Structure 1
Amino acid sequence: MIKEIATTPYSDQRPGTSGLRKKVPIFQQRHYVENFVQSIFDSLTGFAGETLVVGGDGRFYNRDAIQKILKIAAANGFGRAVVGRGGVLSTPAVSALIRSLKAFGGVVLSASHNPGGPDGDFGIKYNVANGGPAPEKVTDAIYARTREITSFRIVEAPDVDIDRLGVTQLGDMRVEIVDSVENYAALMQTLFDFDRIRDAFRGGFTMKFDAMSAVTGPYAHVILEDMLGAAPGTVLNGAPLPDFGGHHPDPNLVHAKHLYDLAMSDRSPDLCAASDGDGDRNLIIGRGRFVTPSDSLAVLAANAHLAPGYRDGVAGIARSMPTSGAADRVAEKLGIGLYETPTGWKFFGNLLDAGLVTICGEESAGTGSNHVREKDGLWAVLLWLDVLAARKQSVDAILRDHWATYGRNYYSRHDYEEVDSDGANALVKSLRDSLPSLKGKRFGALEIAEADDFAYHDPVDGSDSRNQGLRVMFADGSRIVYRLSGTGTAGATLRVYIERYEADPAKQFLETQNALSDLIALSHEIAGIERFTQRKAPSVIT
């Protein structure tokens, strides 16, 4: 039986770069989830009888929200819902399922790398038919609907058993519970030389992969240990837990410091890697060598042709604006297009769909390709494994060869997390107002050549996105970028990106923070970071 239930709008349901993210208690408010989900469906047309994919990263409140979503989807006319067993699907696995099933779209339940648990974070994101995050015109429509919604439709029925594989009926909608890993693992086999990687493990190659008690544990166990023959115990923290075992599931050098310490020790395996809460980010550290996300993108783009799924080469490369220019040099050498977009994977979708690019990456440890329309942490690890197996070199040797060929982009991201929102917004306004006066200013040997607020014109659909990050660019090619992140749930996160290019091989092996020390100091001076945020140092440096 379908019921129409009266409700009142919430004013705080504007989706960010990765959907709607809030603390769990906010989502537990009366009708909060129902309002947002109904607003998603009210903003769409043509889905009667169509397929909807539903899954999440297993965090606290995942299972409760799925029951609501299924009942609202049934009441609104979807014909089939496909759900990962236990409600678990990594974000890239959702994208892969949408594409392979030719589904109408999907609902992803995740707050990505943010902490979980009863007092942690939760999120809901809608993905469209290409498997990618909804574009801004859709999220804008969803938000507009949330501000005027007066009722939602829901099927009154017992909860669906999402732990048992098979098909059940919910009203007029068929619900299929599927193996969370099977479809994704089959896709990976079409892209990479599993025999070659398996031979490398047989030959003594070693690795550790930390799933951070998050969604990629089951995928890593099946693919790395069962299918590729990595030694038992290769996967750490492989069971997804509602609170991620108390971990902060962000694969960076703060929350995965134990991996960094292992890689820098005399006990280091050949490769240390990790993924985040929903499986779309990655961390790559070789024996004695950390690989920045920007360098990882560049190295993978330069070597993708070694993997069977990319043997015909790379059509083009896309990177988010704050990501370093390392990939630009690869694109130039390969004679292919390079596209600089705002941060947010949704901006890559049109480029991928149009066939303009094959490999994409962003500064927040996200890398992916045209196999799905999301960044994909385990995919990046598998491509690294295939490249390592093909070249029979260490991570360090591959990186050194890359820098010798293309030069090195010294690059670091400084995050100031959970700063006062008013202070962060005041910093951005003050800096934006000062941009016209910065050009030509000198700070010691550094001269500002340009300063602007990055805007993007989509070459496929002609849309424009403005105010995407404040750039201060120097005459020697160095730059500092400032932007507020849209992925947090408390306060504001100020991200500052610092970059310097070094062509001289003799100067390519400095410690990164030392190589960037003058620019780091200048990043504080130009923006007045301490004055506006009351922070002398960043929360996280990557």
Structure 2
Amino acid sequence: MTTIQTTPFEGQKPGTSGLRKKTKVFMQKHFLENFIQSTFDAIGGVDGKILVLGGDGRYFGKEAAQIILKMAAANGAAKVFVGQGAWLSTPAASHLIRTLETDGGIILSASHNPGGPEEDFGVKYNAANGGPAPEKITDAIFERTKNITSYLKLDVPDVDLGHIGTQTLGEMVVEVLDPVAAYADMMEGIFDFTALKALFAKGFRMRMDSMCAITGPYAVEIFENRLGAPKGTVVHEVPLEDFGGMHPDPNPTWAHELMAEMMGENAPDFGAASDGDGDRNMILGAGTYVSPSDSLAVIAANAKLVPAYAEGLKGVARSMPTSAAVDRVAEALGLACFETPTGWKFFGNLMDAGRVSLCGEESFGTGSDHVREKDGLWAVLMWLNIIAARGQSVGEIVADHFKRFGRNYYSRHDYEALPKELAEGMLDDLRAKLSDLPGKEYQGLVVGNADEFAYTDPVDQSVSQHQGFRILFAGGSRVVLRLSGTGTEGATLRVYLERYVAGPEGLAQDPQEALAPIIKATEEIVGIAATTGKQQPDVIT
């Protein structure tokens, strides 16, 4: 064991999903080690503890895994379970933490961010419940990074992560696991695989785009090997360190190949995509795009068709920026519905307390209490199970949903790589005028209320302040603004736009056209184009 002297690095504050930086920042001498030692210290040390370790296969992941293993051993950890090749999707890691009853885990991923030597890397700690560390832990990690003076590490050769089996590192046991098998088994226990096999046997056509990221091996095993979908159903199925130059974010902008296929002639019946670490999803039908907020609502309305949820949902939860479409389902079904800040960790307490069994975020994240992370392939299988049970197409299911519950037209506009001071100054100006907005009219819309969202956790009563700005218009329309915590360069302003139409008319408009008055009203109130010089968002989803 070696004690290595070090000095603090600035900016090692974990965001909503751990610490994300450019890969070369993490590759600096001592940088990763400082953060890992700070994490170990913040959780009371790892002496005698058991951990899970793995990641999405991006560049520097294997090297980072070796460093973490040697540090865990030096800090007295009893055992670490590692995915073969240092691979584990984020939901698979959460599942292993829970089922192996470990003390937590470290996931090496920057989620949907690009990978490679010039791109992004990330590290996050998940607690013993399998979910992202709560704020009290991430705050403690950050405080420790400010005054760290040394870290512990074994000076030994690397561990063989290429072969399944058990080996030792000092006195610590390292068990290399198949990264796919346990997760695929879990999915088989949740869904009606017999009905899904019959669906594919009848000629149902699906396209799954894994975007050269971690879900490729999982998707091939589940859809092609276990469910009998034709070979080639999963495309971009081989995980690559740079994701093949792709931006592994499953939205219409970055999954453009899938979008073109699903909106073109002779489109498959169903399309889906997942992201870098496997926790996000995009759902499509032939000629039909399903927004993440609508997908959450449709799943909630049809969950009883899936074996694991046949007795009904305990409750539902959504992040504050996510549209209120699921709220309308919850009201109709008599379910509790919670509105939380952005970040999956806020759902963990609700699930652990048995208050909810379905959660979702507008940023293409959906999941349930089977794990404590959002889960891309789980969402895809939910849709397939619903399709098999209803005998309808994606388009027919969505149209029926809108007729029953009305439609929440919804879109997110991202303004990326803004100077941080400029973005924060613009929101400071908005904060100063919030109290003056109610009663004023913009583009024919009257402001009913305006605030800065704060959340009191109903389970532990912890309070999270400054979680985004809400401008609520009369009639159910609204705009939400917040700075993203997942970028690595500058600041990303996310603007969430929503308009409710009860129907029966007006349910088939183009979302951007339906939202045009709200877009214009937002510019009047906030002055995004006037302040940033950007006349259009960088990404629209």
Contact 1:117 1:243 in 2 (8 A): yes
Measure, in 2, the Cα distance between the counterparts of 1:155 and 1:534: 52
After superposition, residues 12-411 of structure 1 pair within 5 angstroms as: 12-45=11-44, 47-411=46-410
Give 3-state SS (helix, strand or coil) of 1:126's partner. strand
Give 3-state SS (helix, strand or coil) of 2:488's partner. coil
Contact 1:24 1:61 in 2 (8 A): yes
Measure, in 2, the Cα distance between the counterparts of 1:490 and 1:157: 35
Measure, in 1, the Cα distance between the counterparts of 2:258 and 2:415: 23
Give 3-state SS (helix, strand or coil) of 1:314's partner. coil
Please state how far the C-alpha of 1:155 moved relative to its aligned partner: 1.1
Please state how far the C-alpha of 1:190 moved relative to its aligned partner: 1.0
Please state how far the C-alpha of 1:419 moved relative to its aligned partner: 1.5
Please state how far the C-alpha of 1:330 moved relative to its aligned partner: 0.7
Measure, in 1, the Cα distance between the counterparts of 2:123 and 2:374: 17
Give 3-state SS (helix, strand or coil) of 2:431's partner. helix
Measure, in 2, the Cα distance between the counterparts of 1:341 and 1:420: 28
Measure, in 1, the Cα distance between the counterparts of 2:419 and 2:273: 30
Measure, in 1, the Cα distance between the counterparts of 2:70 and 2:296: 41
Contact 2:443 2:520 in 1 (8 A): no
Report what 1:477 is aligned to. Answer: 476
Give 3-state SS (helix, strand or coil) of 2:219's partner. helix
Give 3-state SS (helix, strand or coil) of 1:175's partner. strand
Please state how far the C-alpha of 1:530 moved relative to its aligned partner: 1.3
Give 3-state SS (helix, strand or coil) of 2:113's partner. coil
Measure, in 2, the Cα distance between the counterparts of 1:9 and 1:216: 35
Query: Aligned Cα RMSD in Å?
Result: 0.8
Report what 2:453 is aligned to. Answer: 454
Contact 1:426 1:532 in 2 (8 A): no
User: Would you say 1:509 and 2:508 are equivalent positions?
Assistant: yes
TM-score (norm. length: structure 2): 0.99
Measure, in 1, the Cα distance between the counterparts of 2:19 and 2:503: 45
Please state how far the C-alpha of 1:427 moved relative to its aligned partner: 1.1
Amino acid at match of 2:171: D
Give 3-state SS (helix, strand or coil) of 1:477's partner. coil
Give the stretch that moved more between structures: 96-105 or 416-425. 416-425
| Structure 2 unaligned blocks of 5 or more | none
Measure, in 2, the Cα distance between the counterparts of 1:122 and 1:140: 20
Please state how far the C-alpha of 1:266 moved relative to its aligned partner: 1.7
Contact 1:280 1:366 in 2 (8 A): yes
Aligned pairs, number:
541
Please state how far the C-alpha of 1:49 moved relative to its aligned partner: 2.0
| Structure 1 unaligned blocks of 5 or more | none
Please state how far the C-alpha of 1:46 moved relative to its aligned partner: 6.6
TM-score (norm. length: structure 1): 0.99
Amino acid at match of 1:490: E
Give 3-state SS (helix, strand or coil) of 1:272's partner. strand
Give 3-state SS (helix, strand or coil) of 1:506's partner. coil
Q: Deviation digits for residues 199-231 of structure 1, max 9, x if unmatched?
A: 000011111000000000000010010001111
Percent identity of equivalent pairs = 57
- Change beyond 3 A, Cα 1:444–1:21: closer
Report what 2:522 is aligned to. Answer: 523
Give 3-state SS (helix, strand or coil) of 1:505's partner. coil
Q: Deviation digits for residues 483-529 of structure 1, max 9, x if unmatched?
A: 00000000111000000110112210011111111111122221110
Measure, in 1, the Cα distance between the counterparts of 2:75 and 2:189: 36
Q: Deviation digits for residues 45-65 of structure 1, max 9, x if unmatched?
A: 274322100000000000010
Amino acid at match of 1:303: N
Amino acid at match of 1:12: G
Please state how far the C-alpha of 1:444 moved relative to its aligned partner: 3.7
Contact 2:322 2:362 in 1 (8 A): yes
